[in-house]
Amino acid sequence: MAVELKVPPLGESITEAVVGKWNKKPGDAVSADEPLVVLETDKVTIDVPAPAAGSLASVAFKEGDKVRVGDVLGLIEAGAGAAARPAAAAAPTAPAPAPVAAAAPAQESDARITPTARKMAEENKVDVSQLKGSGAGGRITKEDVLGQLNRPAAPSQPAAPAQPAGPRPNAAREERVRMTPLRKRVAERLVQAQSNAALLTTFNEVDMGEVMALRKKYNDKFQARHGVKLGFMSFFVRASIEALKAFPQVNAEIDGEDVIFKHYYDIGVAVSGSRGLVVPVIRNADKLSLAELEKGVGDLGTRARNDKLTLPELQGGTFTITNGGIFGSMLSTPIINPPQTGILGMHNIVERPVARDGQVVIRPIMYVALTYDHRLIDGREAVQFLVRVKECIEDPERLLLDV
């Protein structure tokens, strides 16, 4: 009995995905709930498990194809994989299983399209592998073929003239790779942010000496008690929350002609996943301790690298922090994550000569940047926001005493 492998619900407002990778080939044995195919959306990566044990009889979409919720990705011959192996072991000289296995994909291929539709497609040289069936179980019908024939000839390729008419001069030394849905979505949002907001960036420098001394003094005890290292991100999250409370415009959102002030603090932390930059959100960060913040950031970062983040963990957020310093960045101008109105950029820590009480001393300095939407936030508030962050980091007791 053939069991359909369908595209599952992908999450709110997500209707399509791209087939990222097939873990099995047609004819391979599969176990129930074994991840068969990886689907990539513009937000998350999803493993689609096998609905039954057996063998993968056919595949309807190849890697890179777009699919929609409910599409039949392939067919599983329930129990076929389990039965085939003992038969081969008991009668290795029997030639019968081989032709049956070879014929199965063709039979399944015939099952995907009605005879009338197949004849019409062959007469008009229509590639049925590119069609999505509207019949029962995703079967291709005559109407699907007619729809393809009546479709206007390639109106959706206005970008073609931008490509050189002839071969690229260095094509042999180049590699063309399709952009992933996540990377495309990141690109769209970055362009959207710069097109729809009045972005401006202000900078300041932070003396990290006090936080580094506090971290060095208590890190071992902190780790022994909480099971996580004491990092810098938790201090900056807490410092940002203090600054957001003082300057609520930075935690707000523009909605048409209205401004939505958010009296909660869901802080997004930009991390690099295996397929690009993602911004998982720490909910109600103002109610978490330093240890809980460190655990939350560490967990989100690990699951981002392993493509285990869920869609709700990437949605929302009132303010974002990004740390380019872990890659060695000295200074940058981060781009806000719409519809947020501000993002804080952290950078690397470098020993620099600075003046203190009339003396030139060497101190560990980090440059910080705040990019903000000037439609809502004036320069005065932006500068004072960074000053508040600076004060909290340079005098970390303020974070502990809430002053």
CA dist 389 and 366 (Å) reads 12
> What does the alpha-carbon distance between residue 280 and residue 294 come to, in Å, rounded to a whole number?
14
Q: How many residues are present in the chain?
A: 403
Task: Tell me which of 258, 378, 395, 402 is the catalytic residue.
Answer: 378
The full DSSP string for 235-304 is HHHHHHHHHHHH-GGGGEEEETTEEEE-SS--EEEEEEETTEEE--EETTGGG--HHHHHHHHHHHHHHH
**211's tokens:** 């936080």
Catalytic residue among 28, 110, 220, 374: 374
Burial class of residue 329 in the structure, from the number of CB atoms within 10 Å of its CB (0-12 exposed, 13-18 middle, 19+ buried): middle
DSSP letter at 341 equals: S
Decide if 378 is catalytic: yes
Active site residue 374: yes
Residue 170: other Cβ atoms inside 10 A: 7
Q: Which residues of 245-278 are buried (b: 16+ CB within 10 A; e: fewer)?
A: eebebbbbbbeeeeeeebeebbbbbbbebebbeb
Task: Give the residue numbers marked as catalytic.
Answer: 374, 378
